[in-house]
Amino acid sequence: MKTENAPSILRSDYVPLAWRIDHLDLHFNLDPVATIVKSRLRCVRNALAPAAPLRLFGEDIELLDLTVNGAQPAPDAIRRTADGIEIALEGESAEIEIATRIDPSANTTLSGLYLSRGGFFTQCEAEGFRRITFFPDRPDAMTRFTVTLEADTATCPVLLSNGNLIEQGPLDGGRHYARWEDPFPKPSYLFALVAANLVSLERRVNTASGREVLLQVWVEDGNLDRAGHAMDSLIHSMRWDEETFGLELDLDRFMIVAVSDFNMGAMENKGLNIFNSKYVLAKPDTATDIDYENIESVVAHEYFHNWTGNRVTCRDWFQLTLKEGLTVFRDQQFSADMLGRMAEAGGEAAAASARAVKRIDDVRVLRTAQFAEDAGPMAHPIRPDSYQEINNFYTATVYEKGAEVIRMLHTLLGAEGFRNGMDLYFSYHDGQAVTCDDFVDCMAEANGRDLDQFMRWYGQAGTPRVTAQGHYDAESRSYTLTLTQHTPPTPGQPEKLPLVIPVAVGLIGPDGTDLPLRLQADNHGATTKLIELTEAEQSFEFTDLDFEPVPSLLRGFSAPVILELDDDDARLAFRMAHDSDAFNRWDAAQRYAERVILALAADAAAGRPLAVPDAFVSAFRALLTNDALDPAFRAQAAALPAEAYLLERMTVADPALLRAALMALMRELGGALSDEWLTLYRKHEVTGPYRYHPADAGRRALRNLALKYLAAAGVGEGLERAHAQFARFDNMTEGFGALAALVNSANPAREAALDTFHRRYRDDALVLDKWFALQAGAWRWNAEAAPVLERVRRLMGDPDFSIENPNKVYALLGSFFRANPAEFHLPDGSGYVFWADQVLALDRRNPQVASRVARALESWRRFTPEIRDRVGVQLERVRSVVGLSPDVAEIIDKALQNGR
């Protein structure tokens, strides 16, 4: 096991490999408790690097034998180090043979080779390969792999690895073997094997250039009827990458394998993607519209990595956003295109709305998870400068903010310019391990543009604040917009420099329509204009305006910044009603709601009655009942901002006050608008068999939201509708939507509904995850009800719960710690003791999962003094435990040191 107090690894310490491995031959004799791995490495001296011994990493594995060029090395040529072995090699090349023994049954970390439901699976990113065999386990060591697997035929009839199957057959003793060869050099983090009892859904399709390829989705027997959507998503992804970027599948076979025990979402191993079953399995009765959407996007994400990540990979782990930010951007564009295309049948406006709804979803995630991270003790640039445990840096910053940075390049260079940059990137770097600078250099070169200042986005942490001030001069009929930017200090970065911030601007006239824009000399007259803020303060003058306009800034969320507006309530209501940019229209509604919620929280703090302003209710009603707007958009606009986001917006985070405010607002909007909600509910029923389609999904989302507000407000007819919907549902979106409404109400029938649901899905692990998550995240609408913590403790003892399964941990504990702040932060501090107990119990089994759970309290210094005192004690308690993993140690240390 790795131990705590790992030293920080620095980006500036990068040294090229002294020895390249040009071929690796791996042989696995798979056994649950004693797997023997034999490897043969062909090493070649790297003339471009300083001379050094061959450095092989190894962790928790037993070395049985090691030879150099067929002989035992001299004792002084080999040295055991804290993280592996160093071998002094002579000459220009050498062949190393190594035998190791590992015990997959004891591997509870789910990193390296492990067992899940009797099958063997691997997870090697970031540093899992060293838990399988000794190897230069770093991403710039690109190697050609040949892999032979031997296993019991009865328990593991299917033997898979990367690339092409070149041989297979029976062996003595009820065993069999398969040999796989991957024609493309790859880093060890992309290695994978699967040996299990699975069945596959298969399709043969042609690539754009006419090559036939075999696609397989491997699942457990009995789940084939849930594999179709993943297969369709894979085919759509292939087509999209061919059409959008001219990128084709480069292998004869591409496999997706679903596994029940997996630390994260999925993994892009070359030709053998391994997925958390949550992101593969779907049928109408078990998966919601959101599950369908997530599956499509995760399948696409992993498939897109084949080019952005695998063919061109990262030089070192600091460059992680090179592949992750870019691939998230690609999957976001793909999903927007897919949704837009499906919605096209309803007209152009429906397609645009579907795309906007996708953008809103993405920004919600960014604002909730990434802005909080950027403001807390773990704040880091999208390309960090140091880390203790790389697995802690698969963050919202590296992924989501990284994707926003790529999106800004796309915005600044245009789709064609961006594509030219991508083409150049592949032409220069295919088959290489490169840096973020290499990528941005290609964008710059292909477009003849200086992107030096833009590179600051890679190095500066923290969310920039942009302010806007407008001044209208009636005499000159001009409007001057003055923008400023400022990025607050973050740990280790006291000073920041101005960034390149693309700001998409529109100006709205008094009648609510967009005005043609004339910006100084540039006389296009378009209604949305991209301006580039590059200095701390800059002014832009718009001319030929007969009235003072209402500005609509950062349209489409053109940069990942916090836009501080001094719009008053009336202006927000005006933009809620008129902004032609769907994103900004939604954003105006969210800002208005935020303002009302924070005022209600202040009322609660002062002991004043909580009264929702009529003007807000009217603006909300107008938007909700505007039939010109798509149901999906209305559902987005009428959903309140996330609680975690609102906590960040409070000067002092106080979960109890915030919850009181949110409950008051939901009751008011549910009650005062009950007729409107009931009408919407009736009008938007979806008839016919379930199909995954944005038009239907939007209607279902709006109806479920109606039930949620009505149930919260205790409106009798709403509760009846929820009961009726729950009593006869044939798709999970409606079933779970109704259940969620009932559970989030004071209605006593909630328990019976939970039982019914449990009985119906008792054998379905993925659906039970929803059941756990719903209860852990529930609000207490009935003041007499017991604290949710009691229920969470009880559910941990439920026979269907298992602390060994990450999905269960995220569903029950993750939902409680992250999605239910008011219940987690109980005034007596019992939530924090429970949190510390769980972090410590998890850390002994699975540090990656423990560290994710640990992060739930990292922003503790933002909370009230009472909360800070109690959390501080538990953070210290966790920190004092001997043998803490470096994963959890890094999080707790940073939380204790870098508070704000």
**Catalytic residue numbers, as ranges:** 302
* 267 makes contact with ligand B3K (CB under 6 A): yes
Cβ 309 to ligand B3K shortest distance, Å: 7
Cβ 305 to Zn ion shortest distance, Å: 6
| Closer residue to ligand B3K (CB): 301 or 770 | 301
Determine the interface stretch with ligand B3K among 80-88, 249-257, 299-307, 378-386 (rule: CB under 6 A).
Answer: 299-307
| Closer residue to ligand B3K (CB): 125 or 823 | 125
* 365 makes contact with ligand B3K (CB under 6 A): no
Nearest to 584 by CA among 602, 566, 610, 563: 563
Alpha-carbon distance of 375 to 464, in angstroms, equals: 11
What residue ranges bind Zn ion (CB under 5 A)? 324, 327
Determine the interface stretch with ligand B3K among 96-104, 265-273, 344-352, 655-663 (rule: CB under 6 A).
Answer: 265-273
| Closer residue to ligand B3K (CB): 25 or 268 | 268
Q: Estimate the share of the chain in helix, then strand, then coil, as percent rounded to the nearest 5.
A: 45, 20, 35
| Closer residue to ligand B3K (CB): 394 or 709 | 394
Please name the amino acid found at residue 286: T
Residue number closest to ligand B3K, CB atom:
125
* 268 makes contact with ligand B3K (CB under 6 A): yes
Determine the interface stretch with ligand B3K among 166-174, 215-223, 266-274, 892-900 (rule: CB under 6 A).
Answer: 266-274
Determine the interface stretch with ligand B3K among 192-200, 300-308, 363-371, 799-807 (rule: CB under 6 A).
Answer: 300-308
Determine the interface stretch with ligand B3K among 234-242, 298-306, 691-699, 722-730 (rule: CB under 6 A).
Answer: 298-306
Cβ-count burial of 118 within 10 angstroms (0-12 exposed, 13-18 middle, 19+ buried)?
Answer: exposed
Determine the interface stretch with ligand B3K among 7-15, 190-198, 259-267, 606-614 (rule: CB under 6 A).
Answer: 259-267
* 261 makes contact with ligand B3K (CB under 6 A): no
Which of 137, 296, 324, 769: binder of ligand B3K (CB under 6 A)?
Answer: 324
Alpha-carbon distance of 801 to 445, in angstroms, equals: 54
Q: DSSP letter at 113?
A: E
| Closer residue to ligand B3K (CB): 249 or 656 | 249
Count of residues in contact with ligand B3K, rule CB under 6 A: 12
Which of 135, 394, 736, 816: binder of ligand B3K (CB under 6 A)?
Answer: 394
394 binds, among ligand B3K, Zn ion, none (CB under 5 to 8 A by kind): ligand B3K
Please name the amino acid found at residue 189: Y
Contact (Cβ atoms closer than 8 angstroms) between residue 294 and residue 230: no
125 binds, among ligand B3K, Zn ion, none (CB under 5 to 8 A by kind): ligand B3K
Cβ-count burial of 763 within 10 angstroms (0-12 exposed, 13-18 middle, 19+ buried)?
Answer: exposed
Cβ-count burial of 426 within 10 angstroms (0-12 exposed, 13-18 middle, 19+ buried)?
Answer: middle
Cβ 209 to Zn ion shortest distance, Å: 26
**Which residues fall within 8 angstroms of residue 227, CB to CB, at 6 or more apart?**
201, 217, 219, 258, 280, 281
| Closer residue to Zn ion (CB): 293 or 324 | 324
Structure-derived torsion over alpha carbons of residues 130, 136, 440, 355, reported in degrees to the nearest 10: -20
Number of Cβ within 10 Å of residue 669's Cβ equals 26
400 binds, among Zn ion, ligand B3K, none (CB under 5 to 8 A by kind): none
**3-class secondary structure for 776-839?**
HCCCCCCCCCCCHHHHHHHHHCCCCCCCCCHHHHHHHHHHHHHHCHHHHCCCCCHHHHHHHHHH
Rg (CA), the chain: 28
Phi, psi of 206 (to 5 degrees): -100, 140
126 binds, among ligand B3K, Zn ion, none (CB under 5 to 8 A by kind): ligand B3K
Residue 135 three-state SS: strand
Cβ 281 to ligand B3K shortest distance, Å: 18
| Closer residue to ligand B3K (CB): 398 or 640 | 398
- Interaction residues for ligand B3K, span 108-127 (CB under 6 A): 125-126
* 59 makes contact with ligand B3K (CB under 6 A): no
Determine the interface stretch with ligand B3K among 221-229, 262-270, 345-353, 587-595 (rule: CB under 6 A).
Answer: 262-270
Cβ 842 to ligand B3K shortest distance, Å: 15
Alpha-carbon distance of 532 to 524, in angstroms, equals: 16
Q: Kindly provide the residue ranges of all beta strands, DSSP E only, lying in 398-543, ordered along the sequence.
A: 433-434, 465-473, 478-486, 501-508, 529-533, 537-542
Phi, psi of 445 (to 5 degrees): -65, -45
| Closer residue to ligand B3K (CB): 373 or 567 | 373
* 391 makes contact with ligand B3K (CB under 6 A): yes
| Closer residue to ligand B3K (CB): 302 or 630 | 302
Cβ 123 to ligand B3K shortest distance, Å: 7
* 264 makes contact with ligand B3K (CB under 6 A): yes
Residues facing 503 on adjacent strands: 531
Nearest to 858 by CA among 816, 893, 824: 893
Residues lying near ligand B3K in the complex (CB under 6 A) are found at 125-126, 264, 266-268, 301-302, 305, 324, 391, 394
